[in-house]
Amino acid sequence: MSIPESKLFTEVAQGLAGCQRVEQQLKLYIHEAFSFARVCINGRMPFKFRGEDVTDYSLERLIQTFKKLSDDEQLVKDLNHFKDERNFLSHQAITHCYDYGGNYSQTTALEIRPQILAVDRDSQYLVERIWALQSKLLVERHFENLDDKP
C-alpha cells in the first residue's frame, strides 16, 4: 500500500479542519457559559466576561478556560491529549515525511497515517461531547427563563 503526497496533504488538512471545529465548539461553550453566568448574576456584581474575550485564545488556553467552566474531568483530559496530537499534526506531520534532501517517504507517511486519521476521528467525538454539555446549559437557561441582557 502507498500513500501519495497529495493524499497525505488532504488527510492532514481534513484533520486540521477537525481541530478547528474543536476550537470553535470550545469557544461556543465558553460563550454560552459566560452568558449563563451573566444572567444568573443579574447585575448583583460586575461580570464582564464575554465569549468574544476568547476569540484569539490558543487551544491550550481554551482548554484551561473550559476546565474552569465544566466538571467533566475526563473530557478535559481527552482535550489535553488531543491538543498534543493536534500539535503534532499542525507542526510536524507533513515535514516528518521528508528527509533532509526533501525526498518524500511513503513508508513514513504510512506509519503516521493512523495518527493523522485518529485526530480527525477524535475531533468529531470531542465536538459532540462539548456540544452535549453546551446543550445542557441551553436547556437549563431555557427552563429558568433566563434572557441574556447586554
Q: CA-CA distance, 114 to 20, in Å (whole number)?
A: 19
Cβ atoms of residues 66 and 107 within 8 Å = no
pTM for the full predicted model: 0.89
- The letter for the amino acid at 80 is N
Q: CA-CA distance, 136 to 70, in Å (whole number)?
A: 11
Is the pLDDT confidence value at 119 over 60? Answer: yes
φ/ψ of 47, rounded to 5, equals -145, 100
At 145, the pLDDT band (50, 70, 90 cuts) reads low
Look-up: residue for cell 427552563? 143
At 15, the pLDDT band (50, 70, 90 cuts) reads very high
How confident is the model over 11-27, as a mean pLDDT?
97
- Start-to-end CA distance of the chain, whole Å, equals 58
